[in-house]
């Protein structure tokens, strides 16, 4: 688990700004939570998600605002999109570190 965060950070930093967000490998898909985008605030790198349980944070289903790190994760997301995402608590703030649309 501790190896996942630095790996995702390196991948995010290595991704050019014009590239699609990095999809999470299938082996890690079980660690993703499901949700629906309610609002995207790209200017402030925040996204509002109505989500199911987030196991790694021991969080029940609810609607809440998350920071996005890196902000480019929000590129192409729109209200109403069904997503799978990874959230962590970073510096005291709930932060989305990976997100992908459900196809």
- Euclidean distance between CA atoms 95 and 44, whole angstroms: 13
**CATH code of 52's domain:** 2.40.50.320
Question: CA 19 → CA 2, 14, 83, 100, 102, distances in Å?
Answer: 26, 10, 18, 14, 18
Question: Containing domain of residue 83, as a range?
Answer: 4-101
Q: How many domains does the chain have?
A: 1
11-65 tens-digit pLDDT: 566 555 555 555 555 545 558 999 999 999 999 999 999 999 999 999 999 999 9
Q: pTM for this structure?
A: 0.71
Q: What are the structure tokens assigned to 69, written together?
A: 């790190």
């Amino acid at each position: 688990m501790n190896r996942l965060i630095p790996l995702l950070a390196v991948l995010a930093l290595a991704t050019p700004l014009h590239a699609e967000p990095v999809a999470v490998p299938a082996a890690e898909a079980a660690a993703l939570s499901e949700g629906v985008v309610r609002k995207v605030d790209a200017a402030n790198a925040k996204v509002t998600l109505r989500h199911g349980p987030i196991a790694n944070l021991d969080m029940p289903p609810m609607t809440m605002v998350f920071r996005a790190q890196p902000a480019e994760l929000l590129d192409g997301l729109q209200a109403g999109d069904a997503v799978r995402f990874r959230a962590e608590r970073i510096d005291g703030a709930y932060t989305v570190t990976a997100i992908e649309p459900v196809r």
